[in-house]
């Protein structure tokens, strides 16, 4: 497999990153995951805007984010992969330097890595829904930054796996923040609810698309703090993310969500989401 590293396209096995890289030493980096739908990189501008925002907030200097879609396209070509059911992973760290906590010399170039890999959302899970657990949100106070420092997310995700579930919804001070790698929505009395944007959650691109679809279809939606009790009593729960799209949750901590079948609002949003990705397909 060919990957991109600091301006070159190389075999993954030949890609070398220094042990002095601050990504390795401090998780001092940001990343982004984008996805192709039938030839087109989905929501490119939103993903790039979030990446630029993360770079700004972490003060990592990398001015060529606009180049990433072209790099992604070249990765597909070099790996002879079709631009569908594939994702582009990008990671930018503050570069390699002698280990001290504060920033290295300004002349230190960032480390820029990208690769492509298959990404498909299970149609079976989209149809039947998934089981999730809840767990304490043990993350830091800048979850708005898509940082590579994901240890708390990793631990939460592993708890889900060990419980036979697919995702872990995180709770902080009795409120729902988000899941280990997706945004959380609940539906009660026909109103779609999700946590408001703050330093406690990532501004999910799919979250934004879902809210936009609610708007377009006249489905009432509120970005308003969601309590644990509201989550447990919700008529419907679904997750949103680049990898899971609009994913119904049918079991929460081993108990059924309503009748343990994807709800009607979730279904409508899934259809609208699929239609929008199809629209991308036909606009090529
Ligand atoms: C913590 C977290 N929240 C939400 C999301 C969903 O974001 P997006 O829709 O941009 O993929 C992700 C995606 O990886 C995530 O890691």
The DSSP bridge pattern shows strands 2-5 and 86-93 to be unpaired
Ligand 1 atom nearest residue 205's Cα: 10
User: Beta 111-118 vs 2-5: how paired, if at all?
Assistant: antiparallel
91 ligand 1 Cβ < 6 A: no
Say how far apart CA 85 and CA 36 lie, in whole Å: 6
The alpha carbon of 105 and the centre of ligand 1 are apart by a number of angstroms equal to 32
Quick one: which atom of ligand 1 is closest to the CA of 209? Answer: 9
Place of tokens 């036979």: 164
Helix (H) or strand (E) holding 140: none
Q: Which of 121, 145, 116, 115 is nearest to 54 (CA)?
A: 145
**139 φ/ψ angles, rounded to the nearest 5 degrees:** -85, 175
What fold does the segment set 2-118 form as a domain?
D-amino Acid Aminotransferase; Chain A, domain 1 (3.30.470)
> Is residue 206 in contact with ligand 1, taking CB distance under 6 Å?
yes
| pTM of the predicted structure, to 2 decimals | 0.97
- Rounded CA-CA distance 231/237 in Å is 8
| Catalytic residue annotation | 146
Using a 6 Å cutoff on CB, does residue 135 contact ligand 1? no
pLDDT for 249 equals 99
Instruction: Map residue 95 onto helix, strand or coil.
Output: coil
Question: Closest residue (by CA) to atom 15 of ligand 1?
Answer: 181
- CATH number corresponding to 123-282: 3.20.10.10
Residue 98 Cα to ligand 1 midpoint, Å, equals: 32
pLDDT at 279: 74
Q: Which atom of ligand 1 is nearest to the CA of 183?
A: 4
Compute the C-alpha angle 184/59/182, nearest 5°: 10
Q: What pLDDT, on the 0 to 100 scale, is given for residue 116? A: 98
Compute CA distances 135 → 163, 173, 199, 201, whole Å.
Answer: 11, 12, 19, 15
Strands 111-118 and 86-93: antiparallel
Ligand 1 atom 16 nearest Cα: 181
Q: Taking each helix axis as running N to C, give the angle between helix 205-216 and helix 44-58, from 0 to 180 degrees, rounded to the nearest 10.
A: 130
Whole-angstrom distance, CA of residue 77 vs CA of residue 15: 18
Torsion-angle region of 68 (φ positive above 0: left; ψ -120 to 50: alpha; else: beta): alpha
Residue keyed to tokens 């984008």: 34
pLDDT in tens, the chain (284 residues): 999 999 999 999 999 999 999 999 999 999 999 999 989 999 999 999 999 999 999 999 999 999 999 999 999 999 999 999 999 999 999 999 999 999 999 999 999 999 999 999 999 999 999 999 999 999 999 999 999 999 999 999 999 999 999 999 999 999 999 999 999 999 999 999 999 999 999 999 999 999 999 999 999 999 999 999 999 999 999 999 999 999 999 999 999 999 999 999 999 999 999 999 987 655 43
Q: Give CATH 3.20.10.10 domain extents, the chain.
A: 123-282
Domain with CATH 3.30.470.10 in the chain: 2-118
State residue 284's pLDDT score: 39
pLDDT given for residue 186 in this prediction: 98
State whether the beta carbon of 242 lies less than 6 angstroms from ligand 1: yes
| Residue 231 · residue 186 · CB < 8 Å | yes
């Amino acid at each position: 497999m060919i990957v991109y590293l600091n301006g070159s396209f190389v075999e993954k096995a030949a890609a070398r990153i220094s042990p002095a890289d601050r990504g390795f030493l401090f998780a001092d980096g940001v990343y982004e995951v984008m996805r192709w739908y039938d030839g087109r990189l989905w929501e490119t501008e939103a993903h790039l805007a979030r990446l630029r925002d993360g770079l700004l907030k972490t003060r990592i200097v990398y001015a060529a984010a606009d180049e990433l879609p072209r790099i992604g396209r070249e990765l597909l070509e070099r790996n002879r992969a079709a631009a569908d059911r594939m994702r582009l992973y990008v990671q930018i760290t503050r570069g390699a330097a002698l280990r001290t906590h504060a920033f290295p010399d300004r002349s230190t170039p960032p480390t820029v890595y990208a690769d492509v890999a298959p990404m498909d959302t299970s149609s079976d899970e989209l149809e039947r829904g998934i089981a999730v657990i809840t767990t304490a949100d043990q993350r830091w106070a800048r979850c708005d930054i898509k940082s590579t420092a994901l240890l708390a997310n990793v631990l939460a995700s592993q708890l889900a796996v060990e419980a036979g579930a697919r995702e872990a919804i995180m709770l902080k001070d009795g409120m729902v923040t988000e899941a280990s790698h997706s945004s959380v929505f609940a539906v009660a009395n026909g109103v779609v609810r999700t946590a408001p944007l703050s330093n406690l959650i990532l501004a999910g691109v799919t979250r934004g698309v879902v809210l936009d679809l609610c708007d377009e279809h006249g489905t009432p939606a509120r970005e308003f703090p969601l309590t644990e009790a509201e989550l447990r009593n919700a008529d419907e729960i679904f997750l949103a993310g680049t990898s899971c799209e609009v994913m119904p949750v049918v079991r929460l901590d081993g108990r059924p969500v309503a009748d343990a079948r994807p709800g009607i609002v979730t279904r409508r949003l899934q259809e609208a989401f699929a239609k929008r990705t199809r629209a991308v397909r036909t606009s090529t």
